[in-house]
Amino acid sequence: MRQVTVHNLKSGMVVARAVFSSDGRILLHSGITLNNIYIKRLAELEINSIYIRDELLDDLEYRNVVQDETRSNTIKMVSENFNSLGINHSLDTQAVKKSVSDIVDELLVNRDILFSLSDIQAFDDHTFAHSVNVCILAIMTGITMGYHHAQLNELGVGALLHDIGKIRISLKVLNKAGELTRNEFREIKRHPEFGFRILREYNDLSILSTHVAYQHHERWDGQGYPRNLAGGKILEYARIVAVADVYDALLANRPYRPPYSINQGINILKRMSGIYLDPHCVTALITNIAVYPIGTVVKLNTGDTGIVIDTNREYPTRPIVKVVFNSRGQRIANQHEVDLSKLKTIMITKPLSEEEIDSLKD
């Protein structure tokens, strides 16, 4: 399968990975053949991209850090809890803890797998999916930083609920596509305090988890909000979630901009390191990111074109590549694998765009 932006979808393409609604329901099943009606509806829902089957990539084994079922169930649980809080002021903390525990267990089993774009599924509303992505990224970062099981669960609960205060913010402000006014931004900036007030009412939630909601917009240099905390005065859980929050937001589609690429996202994190974000947390998170995820079609400095078939945690920019096309763009009869971590003279010059991949197969 490969990721294709919705505006590049064509009738006849086959969905390779289910597309979900914001409450965890499947909008399009894997195996569905796309037609113009489906494509138009995806665009109307503002879904940026989906995964389609591809003859070059269909024999690849994609490994996700968390199972699709676990992810969709967690998103559904978050959606239900946010809605329940808004209506009857009730939060099912046991369901939250159970979902986080399931994610922690899967991540500990799959700790050798890197987080990739295939782990960011297609949803019609980024709000709840974002909470789950931040939770997963934060826990992976905590594992890298040597957290024990109980700490990972505390961190995960805080990460999953970090934006819960937004239920107290006007939807008109939250969903505004254009630039916020000063008053609207002032209202947005109140969500950490709202979130802390909501969560501290639940005695079975750790005070550290509740402070993640309160502090995840504090900044390393003290220029954040709501309390202008700096450096080590910010809870480490909150510093981790801040990095995860920024990274996932960068890779998300927005009404005012397309998503950044993985490399762009990583470079922006590095530029923010030591200013807005804790450098230690930035480094720990980046070590869990697949710079070239499995299925990425790449150009090598030899002129050949290949497909990333496996990642390398120790050398994330030097994955294992199957060479498929020669420098003249011709399909190679005897395709071969190259482990770039062992062949230092061969390197990736760039990942290919959707248009460049399509031209190879013409």
Average pLDDT over residues 272-281: 98
pLDDT bucket at 340, cuts 50 / 70 / 90: very high
Pair (41, 124) in one structural domain: no
One domain for residues 164 and 102: yes
Tens-place pLDDT, residues 286-305: 999 999 988 889 999 999 99
Mean pLDDT value of segment 125-140: 88
Instruction: Give the closest residue to 3 by CA, choosing from 246, 315, 267, 293.
Output: 293
Residue 114: per-residue pLDDT: 86
* 119 occurs within a structural domain: yes
How much is the average pLDDT of 264-268?
Answer: 95
Among the residues of the chain, which ranges form H helices?
36-44, 68-88, 93-109, 126-144, 149-160, 171-174, 182-188, 191-199, 207-215, 236-250, 262-272, 279-286, 354-361
- Phi, psi dihedrals of residue 113, rounded to the nearest 5°: -90, 135
The two structure tokens encoding residue 331:
């399909």
What pLDDT, on a 0 to 100 scale, did the predictor assign at position 124? 46
Residues 157 and 207 in one domain: yes
For residue 147, the surrounding DSSP H or E stretch is none
How many Cβ atoms are within 10 Å of 218's Cβ, its own excluded?
25
Q: In total, how many domains does the chain have?
A: 3
348 found inside a domain: yes
Q: Are residues 302 and 214 in the same domain?
A: no
**Rounded distance, CA 287 to CA 209, Å?**
24
Place 144 in a pLDDT band, splitting at 50, 70 and 90. very high
pLDDT of residue 350: 93
The SS3 of residue 57 is coil
| Length of the chain counted residue by residue | 362
Residues 108 and 145 grouped into a single domain: yes
Same domain assignment for residues 48 and 148: no
Structure confidence by residue, pLDDT tens digits, 68-110: 889 888 988 998 998 888 787 889 999 999 999 999 999 999 9
The pair of three-digit structure tokens given for residue 137, joined into one six-digit string: 């990224």
What CATH number does the domain containing 217 carry? 1.10.3210.10
For residue 57, tell me if it sits in a domain. Answer: no
Among left, alpha and beta (phi > 0; psi -120 to 50; other), residue 47 is: beta
Residue 337: the pLDDT is: 93
Under the banding of pLDDT at 50, 70 and 90, the label for residue 183 is very high
> Looking at the structure, do residues 304 and 223 belong to the same domain, yes or no?
no
pLDDT at 242: 98
Q: Nearest-CA neighbor of 322 among 358, 291, 292, 288?
A: 292
> Do residue 271 and residue 318 come from a single domain?
no
Q: For residue 86, what pLDDT is reported? A: 77
Same domain, 302 and 277: no
Q: What is the C-alpha to C-alpha distance for residues 97 and 126, in angstroms, rounded to an integer?
A: 22
Q: Of 109, 108, 127, 130, which is closest to residue 119 (Cα–Cα)? A: 130
Mean pLDDT, the chain, integer: 89
Q: Give the domain CATH number at 15.
A: 3.90.105.10
pLDDT of residue 316: 86
Q: Looking at the structure, do residues 37 and 113 belong to the same domain, yes or no?
A: no
Q: Is the pLDDT of residue 137 over 50?
A: yes
Instruction: Output b/e per residue, 292-314; b: 16+ Cβ within 10 A.
Output: bbbbbbbbbeeebbbbbbebbee
Domain assignment present for 59? no
Q: How far apart are CA 203 and CA 126, in angstroms?
A: 29
Which pLDDT value is given to residue 218? 98
- Same domain assignment for residues 269 and 308: no
| DSSP single-letter state for residue 191 | H
Q: Which residue has the tokens 């550290």?
A: 208
Nearest Cα to 5, choosing from 38, 36, 43?
A: 43
273 Cβ contact list (under 8 Å, min separation 6):
279, 282, 283
Percentage of residues in the chain with pLDDT exceeding 70? Answer: 94
Q: What is the pTM of this model?
A: 0.88
Name the token pair of 155. Answer: 């961190």
Q: Which of 13-22, 91-100, 111-120 has the lowest mean pLDDT?
A: 111-120
